[in-house]
Structure 1
């Protein structure tokens, strides 16, 4: 018996975020009134209460603010992935995002580690996860 991993459930409010993920673009809301980025998707900016939120591409860069290593997952579909890292990522633009750090051993993840978005296909969706910045191939100058 194959167990399918549960995936995100988009709402009308979050659909532009998930559409961006399918295009491998990390899209966040931005509020011109407060000059602040907003994540998770909302109808109003939590600082200015403005509804003038725009979807913009984010850099995909951040740092690990906190993390845990999961050894016993809460859903049987994730057993084969253990151990895995669940982390709070402070995005370069300001918001904090919950995701996974992949591409390195869980014991190598550190608070303050520079990370970059890494796209993973899962259950017909594309999810933003993060890899250590040091593992990203350097672009030729």
Structure 2
């Protein structure tokens, strides 16, 4: 896998380029160690020294809902990563899961490109 030149594109394009390479990456402040997600040019505290790092991929379900539709049901989950940031995603292999259930990230191909989804790490599916 080649390295991404983060100086030639914006944070969102860089995030998508990493996903296209099969790498889930988030940003961290070099000075404070604070992790951030969504990709951005500066941390909420003002730190502009963000670097790209690979998260552990571990997290927990912070909130989840199930959208029911004629085309099929799907869940939308708010996942809190071990690094302290939260991200919206889905748990594609289950209908729902209890709050606090442990999950692990993986990259899945979707119609509009790769995306990060999560799988339960135990038998906690509801």
TM-score, normalisation: structure 1: 0.75
Q: Unaligned stretches of 5+ in structure 1?
A: 1-10, 73-78, 136-141
Q: 1:42 & 1:111 partners in 2: Cα distance?
A: 28
Alignment partner of 1:85 is 2:85: no
Name 1:23's counterpart in structure 2: 21
Q: 2:78 & 2:112 partners in 1: Cα distance?
A: 24
Give the direction of change, closer, same or farther, for the CA distance of 1:124–1:88 in structure 2 (3 Å limit): closer
Q: 1:57 & 1:118 partners in 2: Cα distance?
A: 12
Q: 1:94 & 1:70 partners in 2: Cα distance?
A: 26
Q: Which has the bigger relative contact order, CA under 8 A and spacing at least 6?
A: 1
Give the direction of change, closer, same or farther, for the CA distance of 1:88–1:124 in structure 2 (3 Å limit): closer
| CA positional deviation for 1:100 | 0.5
How many residues in Structure 1 have an aligned counterpart in Structure 2? 115
Cα RMSD for the two superposed structures = 1.7
Alignment partner of 1:53 is 2:41: no
Q: 2:100 & 2:68 partners in 1: Cα distance?
A: 22
User: 1:71-122: CA deviations, max 9, x gaps?
Assistant: 03xxxxxx53x21110000001110000001222x14x11001011122211
| CA positional deviation for 1:124 | 5.0
TM-score, normalisation: structure 2: 0.83
Moved over 4 A (4+): none
Give the direction of change, closer, same or farther, for the CA distance of 1:85–1:124 in structure 2 (3 Å limit): closer
Name 2:64's counterpart in structure 1: 67
Q: Is the 8 A contact 2:89 2:117 kept in 1?
A: yes
Q: 2:61 & 2:90 partners in 1: Cα distance?
A: 10
